[in-house]
Structure 1
């Protein structure tokens, strides 16, 4: 599966073998083994070894990534080197604020990098980061961004709207994937569904997740709608080139390209 077709991207602590084993039977599109926030300092090296072993064993064809620690921490360099010789598909780099940070990780790890945009500086630099060497996708890091913007914890996402749109624009201009940030409340399926729907409407390709129970909702909301896919297939079959009438509306080449992209996404999801 192409990264841009991923709907559900699940973070797991690399220090939790039970969670890793369970993830092999989950319907998520990508597994991200975390070496950063979810792992205590005294277990970083243990978690790094566990992550390397886990991606070597694989997750049933699912995409895999490893989130490393930030530049300047004692573990950053060793993690980049370890990942160079690993089976991970991607390196996830937190707290990115410059294209140089991504380039450095890419140069050492030789893995495409997913850059997490988690600060005002990161948002403002998103176009350069997205277009920089080694960048494969952007993740929103809304929790850290909320703190830096002094948004109250009980507030909605209105205060993040400009930042989210700016990051989506940067990704689209660079023709790379972009994914929405995590939803923190674990027992609020309605809230998760609403946030997924809002993110999908903004233009995110999928959603990063923090618990297995969130996977089905993200897959449903970000997955292609069967009726829309059927409509797209009819449009492709009917199109003859140029502007023309199709089922009561005008279509042109742009609409055919959109239809083909939707069908390709649906086929990727079905074939995972």
Structure 2
């Protein structure tokens, strides 16, 4: 589990807003997505593209991705060309619906000289994407992260965005299964009401319990609760250390199982504990 990157909080920042891009340098988000899509008006696309690509080196150790406009838009080709030359940590592509889409993105990045370090983050936000999620996730080694687009998914489903997200759980669960089966990182979708702190925190907790690696955000005020919820707590870290120690002691004594707090511990529990500690160490680093 070496090289694990914490992606608890992944904040969208509008590419056309110079003040927002400057402010992002001081924000404690694990990663930033500099946005050329929804947050940028059509007549500001060219200026935003130039501004975002010119700002990439200013964010220290934060992972910085660029969200380009979708494959079917008039801006996609210019966005991808500029992003390839700028070399962000990743290019985030909206409405990826098939392996063919991934192959097209990958070829375009290669032809335009993108460094190998620039990965593809695919946004899954349509019913078609839910049904093709495994095909998308396995289309390229360069694709490393799946990003849920819950607003668009709800729109496409004719569903309501309600507390608990019951109308979306089928799609979310399917994509989580795919992410874990294919070894990809998966990020939960955004929460729209930036003033509803309790509702946001509840959705973060739901995402963590589901197994998401982190959550995409639309406001800096969402970073702290998101980081807190998705980080291992002190109690969880202590429990993980005791699980590993107990199992090592049992193994040394020739036993295949151990007990901690009255519960049986097996290899699978040790694996979970090791992953949790690796995440805690990555956050600390």
Is residue 228 of structure 1 aligned with residue 227 of structure 2?
Answer: no
State the match for 2:38 in structure 1: 37
Gap regions ≥5 residues in structure 2: none
How far apart are the structure 2 equivalents of 1:100 and 1:225? Answer: 41
Instruction: Summarize deviations over 1:201-251 as a string: whole Å, max 9, x none.
Output: 111111000000000011011111111111111222232332223332211
How far apart are the structure 2 equivalents of 1:79 and 1:3? Answer: 29
How far apart are the structure 2 equivalents of 1:2 and 1:141? Answer: 27
| Contact 2:4–2:278 (Cα < 8 Å) also in 1 | no
SS in 2 for 1:115: strand
1:201 corresponds, among 209, 215, 226, to: 209
State the match for 1:112 in structure 2: 119
Q: CA deviation at 1:54?
A: 1.2
State the match for 1:247 in structure 2: 261
State the match for 2:199 in structure 1: 191
1:166 corresponds, among 162, 166, 174, to: 174
| Contact 2:160–2:167 (Cα < 8 Å) also in 1 | no
Gap regions ≥5 residues in structure 1: none
SS in 2 for 1:185: coil
The total of aligned residue pairs comes to: 270
Q: CA deviation at 1:4?
A: 5.4
State the match for 2:131 in structure 1: 124
How far apart are the structure 2 equivalents of 1:198 and 1:154? Answer: 13
TM-score by length of 2: 0.90
State the match for 2:84 in structure 1: 84
Aligned-residue CA RMSD (Å):
1.6
Q: CA deviation at 1:73?
A: 1.6
SS in 2 for 1:31: strand
State the match for 2:21 in structure 1: 20
How far apart are the structure 1 equivalents of 2:30 and 2:283? Answer: 9
Instruction: Summarize deviations over 1:66-102 as a string: whole Å, max 9, x none.
Output: 0001112221112212122214100101011012212
State the match for 1:54 in structure 2: 55
Query: Does the C-alpha gap of structure 1 residues 44 and 2 become closer, same or farther in structure 2, counting only changes over 3 Å?
Result: farther
Instruction: Summarize deviations over 1:155-199 as a string: whole Å, max 9, x none.
Output: 751000101000100111111110110000011100100111111
